[in-house]
Amino acid sequence: MKINIHAFLKQFEKEYEFLYENMDRVAGYDEAVAAFDEFIRRWPNGNFVAEFCRYRGDMLTSDREAAAFMFALEVMTA
């Protein structure tokens, strides 16, 4: 997967803020959380998640972070 990690972080932060402002009441939220669980189980996706966490300096630990990750991934790979 070839994604600029810096640009991905910016998009992730944008998606996270949107979810936060809307208290996670966003179309596709539950589906994005479930998709993250599946995404991380597939190689090499887990490596990308680990690289992102290292770059970000923090683990993805909440459903909101998982959803933001998947929404950002959708934007960055469209």
- Quote the pTM value: 0.96
- For 14, how many CA atoms within 13 A lie in the half-sphere containing its CB? 12
- Using an 8 Å Cβ cutoff, are 3 and 64 in contact? no
Cβ-based neighbour number of residue 24 at 10 Å: 16
Q: In 3D, which of 26, 12, 10 has the Cα closest to residue 60?
A: 12
Q: Please state the rounded mean pLDDT for residues 2-19.
A: 97
State residue 23's pLDDT score: 98
Query: Does the pLDDT at position 53 exceed 80?
Result: yes
Query: Does the pLDDT at position 27 exceed 80?
Result: yes
State residue 67's pLDDT score: 98
* Range of the structural domain that residue 51 is part of: 5-77
Q: Which amino acid is at 77?
A: T
For residue 43, what pLDDT band results from cuts at 50, 70 and 90? confident
